Amino acid sequence: MPQGFIVKALSGYYYVLPEGANIREIDTITCRARGVFKKKNISPLVGDQVMYELTENGEGTVTEILPRTSELIRPPISNVNLVVLVFAVTEPVLNLQLLDKFLVHIESTGLDVLLCFTKHDLLAENEEAGSGQLTVAEFDQIRKLYEEIGYAIVTTSSKMHNGIGAVQDALKDRLSVFAGQSGVGKSSLLNEMIRGIDLETNAISQRLGRGKHTTRHVELLPLESGGYVADTPGFSQLDFMELEAEQLGSCFKEFVPLAEECRFRGCLHQHEPNCKVREAVEEGRVAASRYDHYLLFLTEMKERKRRY
């Protein structure tokens, strides 16, 4: 039975690239999934290595899903080893609370993350600051904060063709996924990186301050340097259905070494005495913004638990 790799999923169909084939030279095989998967509440995902069998009409049926090395729920994709988290520095306004929420979800998966800040050309110079626009100096402080936490960061401008090579180098020979808020320029960035594609992009709604959902399914796109990248639907809302409150602290990288010195095992870094995370916040060794977001997320998780 032949083996393949799901590169696209749409409306109940799975597009499988045969093992060893080059997607630029060979058409994918359009497959349905066996009914047994539905009975077991299992769905094939983009990124899955699968076994399949051909049917008489030239299509196929996915018969087996091989073991996964990773699995994401939002976006639904497997076997990823790098998440490129894309946020614009403006248009829409850079939302650090939402950025930290995405980082929590990625950290909970154990995957590597690259922070990519787009539309760098739209930053205001200090003397031009006004109307809430992020300045170069303000962004430099944000970049410094996340670099000190330990995140790899690239800045790009599709308009100015800057930073594209740095992103390509990071993605080489990996299965990567682009994730982030709608309208931040993910599709524009991919259009710059991959010759011959023309992903739909939409301008930001000035009234609402957010973009339209231009990508409606998950699809892997081949990189000329090797590897694949997924363009995925943007998300403006995330919940914490997959996490317990006790796990949240471990998803803030800078909390982890401090938590080992807390007085109580399982410390929630909220009201407990001799909490080393709170001490670090008071001493300025942990950013107050990050701790404030942690408390917001913790409250959200506790309220969710009470509702259910």
Residue 253 is labelled as binding a ligand = no
Question: Do 104 and 251 contact (CB within 8 A), yes or no?
Answer: yes
| 186 marked among binding-site residues | yes
Pairwise CA distance, residues 59 & 191, whole Å? 30
- The reply, when asked if residue 118 is annotated as ligand binding, is yes
Nearest to 52 by CA among 41, 60, 44, 43: 60
Query: Is 213 known to sit in a ligand binding site?
Result: no
Q: Is 105 annotated as a binding residue?
A: no
267 is in an annotated binding site: yes
Q: Does 180 carry a binding-site annotation? A: yes
How far is residue 268's CA from residue 297's CA, in Å, rounded to a whole number? Answer: 12
Q: Specify the DSSP class assigned to residue 157.
A: B
Instruction: Indicate the pairing of strand 3-10 with strand 218-222.
Output: antiparallel
Does 172 belong to an annotated binding site? no
Please tell me the distance from the alpha carbon of residue 212 to that of residue 204, in angstroms, as a whole number.
7
Is 132 annotated as belonging to a binding site? no
Q: What is the DSSP letter of 297?
A: H
Question: Do the annotations mark residue 163 as ligand-binding?
Answer: no
211 Cβ contact list (under 8 Å, min separation 6): 92, 181, 182, 183, 184, 202, 203, 204, 205, 234
- Strand-pair partners of 218: 9
271 is in an annotated binding site: no
169 belongs to an annotated ligand binding site: no
- Has 251 been labeled as part of a binding site? no
Please indicate if the annotation marks 209 as binding a ligand.
no
Q: Which residues are annotated as a binding site for GTP?
A: 118-121, 180-188
Q: Which residues are annotated as a binding site?
A: 118-121, 180-188, 262, 267, 269, 275
Q: Which residues are annotated as a binding site for Zn(2+)?
A: 262, 267, 269, 275
